[in-house]
Amino acid sequence: MKKLIVALGALMMMTMGVFAQDAAPKSKAEITFEKETHDFGKMKQHGDASTEFKFTNTGTEPLIIANAKGSCGCTVPEWPREPIAPGESNVIRVKYDSKRIGPINKSVTITSNAANSPSKVIRIKGNIDAAPKTDDSAMPAAEPTMAPSAN
């Protein structure tokens, strides 16, 4: 009987430990974007394919962005490294390498301590048209040069 009471006591202690972990405090930072997708529309090859995504910490604790990762090497994000205070705003800059032509639909995954969205995805899209080719025939022909005479 004594062994049964000890076993039940140990089981109750383990169960209480599991429930106590659920009560751990959660972050109260929240991230809210003005827009989550930017459409460049039609643009020329090698044009400026940069944009900013403005966000606000709508929570009650500082927001910390741990990482921002583009879906490929052609999409490069820059994000604030310092904590964003409650009520404050900042931007994540995204630059796309517009040397490629055709449709674009890329994403940036943001990792933060935001309770409402610890992993948030923002997107860029558009279509890049080939840059106009330079026509060499429009350039004036070079004057022939005469070699100096050997007199």
Q: Give me the domains of the chain, ranges plus CATH numbers.
A: 31-129 (2.60.40.10)
pLDDT at 57: 97
The tokens describing 74, both together, are 């052609």
* Three-state secondary structure string covering 47-102: CCCEEEEEEEECCCCCECEEEEEECCCCEEEECCCCCECCCCEEEEEEEECCCCCE
Quickly tell me which residue has 């948030």 as its tokens: 120
Q: Report the percentage of the chain scoring pLDDT > 90.
A: 67
Query: pLDDT at residue 94 above 90?
Result: yes
Query: pLDDT at residue 92 above 80?
Result: yes
- Give the model confidence (pLDDT) of 38-48 as tens digits: 999 999 999 99
Query: pLDDT at residue 96 above 80?
Result: yes
- Give the model confidence (pLDDT) of 102-146 as tens digits: 999 999 999 999 999 899 999 999 999 998 877 655 555 555 555
Task: Report d(CA 53, CA 70) in Å as an integer.
Answer: 14
Task: Report strand pairing: 102-112 vs 119-129.
Answer: antiparallel
- Give the model confidence (pLDDT) of 76-90 as tens digits: 999 999 999 999 999
Closest C-alpha to 31, from 6, 68, 3: 68
Q: Report the percentage of the chain scoring pLDDT > 70.
A: 71
The tokens describing 5, both together, are 């009471």
